[in-house]
Copies of this chain bind each other. A is one copy, B any other.
Amino acid sequence: MNKIGERTIVFKSAPFIAGNGGVGGKEEKCGPVGDCFDVFLKDDLWGEKSWELTEKKMHIRAIVDALNAAGLYTKDIDVMLGGDLLNQIITAGYSARELGIPFLGLYGACSTMSESLAIGAMAVDGGYAKNVVCAASSHFATAERQFRYPLELGTPKTPTSQHTATASGATVISMKPINPGAHPRITCATIGRVVDYGIKDVNNMGAAMAPAAAETLFTHFYDTKRKPSYYDLILSGDLGIFGKEILIRMAEKEKMDLSLNYTDCGVEIYKGMDNMYCGGSGCGLSALMLNKYYIPKMREGKLKRILFMATGALMSPTSSLQGESIPAIAHAISIEMENVKWNI
């Protein structure tokens, strides 16, 4: 078995992250890490006639840039995995039509990047694919239109709300990278369970998702017998300021110190910016931060081991209207510069 403990799958060949791509929105570009987003939107529409078409254009651009970085063409890619927040994941579906790559559509809300990396690494490690591309995208305006209110209404936000990022990120996972140099590798993944603590406030997603993140994180350390200090960085997807605080406190109760090497992509992307409430969200956010900010840091030698854990809230407007609480999920992906010898 390529599995340790209850829920952690191991990739003995440690597939390589051969290329990365990403596109940031105008606001993301203005943020503290905006310098890393070399491809970005000058306005919300980026030359398209609808925000949905813009999101598709971003998704495709992130994938094409990841392929270019890996030195590959679409024909070299065995399968394209991923999704977005839109109903029927139209961003990913229409992108797959344009690119012509075999496609497996995923929906994990904002956990999609983690989910696609887990399945993608399995496909490459298992010998079912030489190269796969994983991608996730979101757009502030398409998400507001679908999940919340028409932008024209100017509906005020509550203090715990998060700002859906306009962002795309894509990762090429390869059996053998073409380009020379050291590439980060995916060594294991802990698959999440759906956790629901009964939160019903859709403007408080951090609180809804933190328990799912905690459950996956604790399981990951239990399964792998690693400690938080094993990683240079533990990175959650988009818990935001409030959700991050909850996760740290939940970990404290388990005698686990996350104060030194843990942060959240949703906190980092808009740090110090006004009107961003509890930070960013959206499945493209963690995809962009991973692919354009953190993975490059690994390539530069500044980080050697990271645990990437995108978190998703799985409710829908219909389930919320029907009075349901918010179920959440998180998958943890271990990305390291060296392969690991598993004792199994």
Contacts and interface: CB of A to CB of B under 8 A. Distances in A.
A107 B126 contact: no
Contact of A87 (B78, B119, B125, B317): B317
B90 A196 contact: no
Interface string A1-33: 111000101000000000000000000000000
Contact of A193 (B89, B96, B115): B96
Contacts of A96: 193-194, 327, 329
B130 A86 contact: no
Contacts of A102: 7, 191-193
Contacts of A107: 83, 88-89, 105-107
B129 A3 contact: yes
Nearest to A7: B102
Interface in A41-97: 50, 52-53, 78-79, 83, 86-90, 93-94, 96-97
A236 B127 CA distance: 27
A287 interface: no
Nearest to A93: B314
Contacts of A319: 52, 88, 90, 94
A133 to B, nearest CB: 13
A251 to B, nearest CB: 21
Contacts of A3: 78, 127-129
Interface string A134-166: 000000000000100000000000000000000
Given A7-B78, A9-B129, A78-B191, 13 more contacts: A2-B127, A87-B88, A87-B316, A87-B317, A87-B318, A90-B315, A97-B195, A97-B196, A97-B327, A103-B191, A103-B194, A103-B329, A104-B191
Interface of A: 1-3, 7, 9, 50, 52-53, 78-79, 83, 86-90, 93-94, 96-97, 100-109, 115, 118-119, 122-123, 125-130, 146, 191-196, 314-319, 322, 324, 327, 329
